[in-house]
Amino acid sequence: MKISSKEEVCPPEITTGIARRSVLKSLALAAGAVGMGVPAAHAAGNSKSKSSPLAKDPIFADATKPIVETDLGKVRGYIRNGIFTFKGIPYGDDTGGSARFMPPKKAKPWTNLRSSMHYGSCCPQPDGHGWKHDEEAWMFAWDDGTPGEDCLCLNVWTPGINDNKKRPVMVWLHGGGYTAGSAQELKSYDGENLARRGDIVMVSINHRLNVFGHLDLSAYGPQYAESGNVGMLDIVLALEWVRDNIANFGGDPGCVTVFGQSGGGGKVCTLTCMPSAEGLFHRAIVQSGSLGHSRTPENAAGTTDAFLKQLNLDRSSIAKLNDIPWREIEAAAVIATRPTAPPTLINFRHMGNLLGWAPVLDGKVVTENAFDPKTPDRAKKIPLLVGTNLNEFVTAMDHPEYWQWTDADLQSHVQKVMPQQADAAIKAVKELYPNAKPFQQWSIIASSSVRGAAIDQAISKAAASGAPAYLYYFTWQPPILDGRPMAFHCAEMSFTFDNVQRCENMTGGGPEAQALADKVSGAWITFARTGNPNHPGLPKWPEFTAENKSTMVFDNTCVARNNLDDNLQKIVSEV
């Protein structure tokens, strides 16, 4: 969608991608919601794409190479299109049994050569419901993986091994709130093309989620003091693995970018609040995940009580948690955290206490909320790239009837969620997007608080007077399903990873999508390398300030805009 006020707009919608992100999906809208989507070469933005959705060169693997030595033992991967690929490398020990709810421990060393050619297990999690929705399932084609508590593993894509080169390292944290997802869930997460395009090392990780990663049992004994944040401590352990081993994979441990989308973006935010993560990463990218506020201990304790009640456990029987099969643990957790829809549009700025599972602001592992202007120096010195998508959780996937909305439908739905501000919000969105369909305009209003949270985060970062912040807005509309998915939650990831051809059911494939992928992936790569996303394929992208609120709009024509939607943001923030 073009941001020019007179430009014709492609359709928006109400049901967006990954139904696995059901927690965010159920909270993104409330009372008036009709449908929801669920809750991605050195500066090569202007170069011809090097992506290849299918292998053009032979996939190479044998008993002797490629092999890399880690501090735990040797691993063997394979070569695809010139990129060395290693999957399922353990960085942490099994988290089941007596290790359940405990801080992670390093994986046990091995003496034989370890084959690392297939993704490892992912954390147990609720069943995804996206397969029930035909269009959504066609677009996302999830890989649910193999669940298990021995899930602390990671994947590496690199152009070179054992070559003494110092390539930038990009560590991906998957979405799904803090409840679901994995490093292999979506095709867009594949790191081969990004590694090739940017001559960077790409790493993705699995870690504990939901009840296994964030059950706060601290009131039940000192041994559980960190239990509410062990999922985040898993990520810290993975970053320590990167620090200690990535040089042999051709990477620079002194130039590490953490980036994530949705819940993965929230994890990036939380890492900036963890003393144990200091020095392990040097840049941060937050994609549709400005979940800056962690849960309060009081809120977390309420969830713990509800969970233990499901299992008929109390202080005297708490140790039995280690013996209960994980499937029963997960089933009880699902019941204990069934979300209740709030009465109005969700305020994305303060989502922590509304999520079933999330990090806990315990003052020890997580010491403050993300990007507070008073944040410690460890966060001030980290450059930030942050942004959102135009339509986020509100699309018309699986609902073609939404495309027939009238202005009366728009008025009715906005009135339900913001009765005092309805007329002003509709007027503001029509001024910004006069040619949009009524449902598109509803989608933009309903998604505005997600962008508002990113703006607030950038303002806080700028106020800290440290490293710079850069803000983006992804507005491109995929030419699939009559345009009904719009710029949905997750839409940008295929472009981030330069995987638009691999993910053609999301993007439509073709030269238009590839041209934008060159620009987006080029910006991410350049930011990882330098802390600044500007590259020759884009117009000048100014640093964000509270005065200019400069936003790079990613569309067929990319443009930096100042104070783009101030009026609409002001109206929505009053709800």
Active site residues: 262, 392, 489
Among the listed residues 289, 116, 119, 100, the one whose alpha carbon sits nearest the alpha carbon of residue 211: 100
Strands (E), 119-230: 153-158, 167-173, 201-205
* Residue 112: count of CB within 10 angstroms of its CB: 7
End-to-end CA distance of the chain: 26
d(CA 95, CA 110): 18
d(CA 308, CA 101): 14
Matching residue, tokens 């969620």: 417
Task: Give me the torsion for CA of 427, 429, 435, 441, rounded to 10°.
Answer: -110
d(CA 323, CA 334): 19
Residue 2, token pair as written in the block: 């073009």
Residue 264, token pair as written in the block: 């993965």
Among the listed residues 550, 29, 444, the one whose alpha carbon sits nearest the alpha carbon of residue 538: 550
DSSP helix/strand/coil, 152 = coil
The DSSP output letter for 548 is: T
d(CA 334, CA 344): 24
Measure Cα distances from 276 to 212, 279, 281, 373, 404 in Å. 20, 9, 11, 20, 52
DSSP alpha helices (H): ranges in 311-437?
326-336, 377-380, 407-417, 422-432
Q: For residue 435, how far is the Cα from the chain centroid?
A: 31
Q: Judge contact between 239 and 266, C-beta under 8 A.
A: no
Strands (E), 242-306: 251-261, 283-287
> Which DSSP string corresponds to 486-546?
-SBTTTTHHHHTT-TTTTHHHH--HHHHHHHHHHHHHHHHHHHHHS----TTS---PPP-T
d(CA 516, CA 523): 11
Q: Work out whether the CA dihedral 101, 106, 108, 114 comes out positive or negative.
A: positive
Among the listed residues 284, 346, 272, the one whose alpha carbon sits nearest the alpha carbon of residue 24: 346
